[in-house]
């Protein structure tokens, strides 16, 4: 009787181990969109060794994801595929990086002229405890980096850096026109580029960012 009970317990434990191992094995993404998400997560993971990561972006003509590695060797390619758990057929490796973060240009795409009155904002990005808002009149914010034009969202997600660092890349290209006494909120502008960036940095810890046209100004309901 005791032998039968021990046999049952042993079989049960073996089943648990087998099930646990199976659950830990994640399936590879089966399409381009999910593969892009997996790569984006890997690049933004703070625990990942990023010393060999360059950047990544979608090549719309080839309908494939370009992954740039600092040392683009077959061994490093295989390591990347293993760590990200993605299928090689969705990506193309290229040599890339390290990069000069100053080698960028920015462009604001405006959908319509902003009229006088209440200015509304749409949430654009939310990461690293930072929310980025675009003025409602703005279609998107584009960054040209190393000759490649991409949305700021793709720029922030596709490079080996944080959202905070990506925002600094933008503000470094603009003139700081005001510094508020709320802890460190700064306002940056460029009339030629028709852009204003209000980067919150309050004593309460608010680090939201508001991006709009040149005439955008700070309002009391911001950075709250």
What is the average pLDDT value for the chain, to the nearest integer?
A: 83
Q: Is the pLDDT assigned to residue 56 strictly greater than 80?
A: yes
- Residue scoring higher pLDDT (121 or 117): 121
Alpha helices (runs of H) in the chain, residue ranges in sequence order: 2-24, 32-44, 74-84, 152-158, 163-171
Model pLDDT for residues 89-98, shown as the tens digit of each residue = 999 999 876 6
Q: Report residue 43's pLDDT band, with 50, 70 and 90 as the boundaries.
A: confident
C-alpha 49/C-alpha 8 separation (Å) is 44
Measured between alpha carbons, how far is 221 from 224 in angstroms, rounded to an integer? 6
Q: What is the pLDDT of residue 117?
A: 56
> What domains sit in the chain, N to C, each tagged with a CATH number?
32-95 (3.30.300.50), 104-111+120-212 (no CATH)
Instruction: Give the span between the Cα atoms of 133 and 130, in whole angstroms.
Output: 10
pLDDT confidence of 61, banded at 50, 70, 90?
A: confident
| Residue 164 clears pLDDT 80, i.e. is over it | yes
pLDDT at 154 (0 to 100): 84
- Compare 22 and 172 and report the one with higher pLDDT: 172
The whole-number pLDDT of residue 81 equals 95
**Taking the model in full, what pTM does it have?**
0.62
Q: What is the pLDDT of residue 27?
A: 87
Tokens 């080698």 map to which residue?
A: 103
* 112 Ramachandran zone, left/alpha/beta (phi>0; psi -120 to 50): beta
193/97 Cα distance (integer angstroms): 27
| 122 pLDDT above the threshold of 90 | yes
């Amino acid at each position: 009787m005791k032998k039968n009970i021990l046999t049952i317990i042993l079989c049960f434990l073996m089943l648990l181990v087998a099930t646990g191992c199976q659950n830990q094995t994640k399936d590879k993404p089966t399409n381009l969109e999910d593969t892009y998400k997996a790569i984006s997560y890997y690049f933004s993971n703070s625990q990942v060794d990023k010393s060999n990561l360059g950047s990544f972006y979608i090549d719309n003509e080839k309908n494939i994801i370009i992954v740039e590695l600092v040392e683009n060797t077959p061994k490093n390619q295989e390591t990347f595929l293993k760590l990200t758990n993605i299928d090689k057929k969705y990506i193309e490796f290229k040599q890339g990086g390290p990069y000069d973060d100053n080698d960028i240009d920015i462009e604001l795409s405006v959908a319509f002229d902003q009229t006088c009155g209440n200015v509304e904002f749409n949430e654009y990005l939310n990461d690293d405890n930072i929310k980025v808002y675009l003025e409602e009149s703005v279609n998107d914010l584009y960054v040209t980096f190393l000759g490649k034009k991409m949305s700021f969202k793709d720029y922030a997600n596709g490079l080996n850096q944080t959202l905070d660092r990506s925002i600094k890349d933008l503000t470094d290209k603009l003139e700081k026109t005001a510094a508020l006494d709320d802890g460190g909120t700064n306002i940056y502008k460029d009339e030629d580029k028709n852009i204003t960036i209000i980067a919150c940095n309050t004593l309460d810890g608010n680090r939201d960012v508001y991006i709009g046209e040149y005439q955008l100004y700070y309002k009391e309901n911001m950075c709250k």
